[in-house]
Amino acid sequence: MKDIRAWSLALAVSWFLLGLGAGLAVSRQTPSPSPLAGYADALSEEFELSGRRRRVLNQLLDEYDSRQREIRDRHQVATLDAMEPEFRALCAEFDDKIRNRILPPAARARYDALARPLAAR
């Protein structure tokens, strides 16, 4: 049963990462304006910034945005690690339901044997 749990966890994490990768790929194909562009516009207008100061402001805001993304990415990895026990429990629960409620008793040994190589990964 541990084999199918590991396989189920790997499958769940794989699907999550695949969806995340697809989302990132799509978002990178369609450039969106910086979320701070409105802030830069408002500051430029309010303080009548020269072109040079506006360029420096944009550079600062780009750096801010980049560093903010780095922090978010770092915490996202920590979140995935923190979710692992819950994924394992969820996989175990549904593995048990499939094995013991769906499959006939005669098929359970075969189910366990099929899951064994997947869990070795």
Task: Give the pLDDT confidence of 98-117 residue by residue, as tens digits.
Answer: 889 999 999 999 988 887 77
Mean pLDDT value across residues 16-28: 66
**Res 50 pLDDT > 90:** yes
Residue 33 CA, chain-centre distance (Å), reads 23
Helix (H) / strand (E) element for 58: namely helix 51-97
- Put simply, whether the predicted model's pTM sits higher than 0.85 gets the answer no
Gap between the Cα atoms of 40 and 64, Å rounded: 12
In this structure, what token pair is assigned to residue 9?
Answer: 């966890």
Mean pLDDT value across residues 24-46: 75
Output Rg (C-alpha) for the chain, integer angstroms.
24
Three-class SS state of 29:
helix
Most confident range (mean pLDDT) of 12-16, 34-38, 99-103 is 99-103
